[in-house]
Amino acid sequence: MSEPITPQAWWPEASRDWSADERQLLAQLDPGRLPAHVAIIMDGNGRWARQRGYLDRIRGHEAGIDSVREATRTCAQLRLQVLTLYAFSKENWRRPKAEIAALMELLRRFLIAERDELMDNNIRLLAIGSLDDLPNGARAALDETMRLTANNTGMKLVLSLSYGGRDELVRAARKLVAQHPDPAQINEAAIDAVLDTAGLPDPDLLVRTRGEMRVTNFLLWQIAYAVIFVTPVLWPDFRRRQLLEALADYQRRERRYGGVGQSTAPRG
């Protein structure tokens, strides 16, 4: 039996302020087997607002910002390579115009307000999706925040904005046709190179909140071998503890990639 992990071995400095339960969960983790890339489907903002009697769903989205901040900070402290958050889907444009406008303004303010947090934690911001769909204010704030953090060398925070997995694959197919007129040249590596996530490792762990057992058109190509963790917790209530539970569950799984025992990922 291996020796227990001690705080001096790898725990983030900030964990001194974590709760006893969080530190106990942290002690269960093997730092050598943490996922390189965690992706999260942030679900339950509207239900959270309704449960509290709010007539405006945006109150749930506002509350969810604290969850975004804590998940991002914790993943950076644990030295994960990539955290991808499903922030706004291609299908979300079908929502009422007033709600969309409020969400885009909330996104704009978030991107500006979090710049110091990103810089302090050496986090680089990236975005995937049909970004030209975003209104000018949100797009300008996104571009500026990405520019300001471009030289950060720590974790990459990827926001999925106006994103849909099928839409991404359609856009990728058009690029493939233009770049590879000979179909024999098209292989998995060629497809990887034209996806929105080109250059990033595939997600090792996909987390979904609100208990829904579906992937909702998110990173359809990239999650082929991902471990999926579903929690009933609504996104605004998702905190460090739930993230650590997801990481612990990930480490209890065996990823075989179609084989019969422990194996190395075929791609990533």
The residues annotated with a catalytic role in the active site are 43, 92
Which residues make Cβ contacts (< 8 Å) with residue 1, sequence separation at least 6? Answer: none
Which residues make Cβ contacts (< 8 Å) with residue 78, sequence separation at least 6? Answer: 12, 34, 247
Amino acid at 164: G
β strands within 119-256, DSSP E: 124-128, 156-163, 205-208, 227-230
How does DSSP classify residue 55? S
DSSP-assigned beta bridge partners for residue 159: 85, 127
Start-to-end Cα distance in the chain: 31
Amino acid at 257: Y
CA dist 205 and 83 (Å) reads: 10
What's the token pair of residue 187?
């292989």
Nearest to 93 by CA among 168, 161, 144, 38: 161
Instruction: Quote the distance between the C-alpha of residue 256 and its chain's center.
Output: 23
Which residues make Cβ contacts (< 8 Å) with residue 86, sequence separation at least 6? Answer: 39, 40, 41, 42, 160, 163, 216, 218
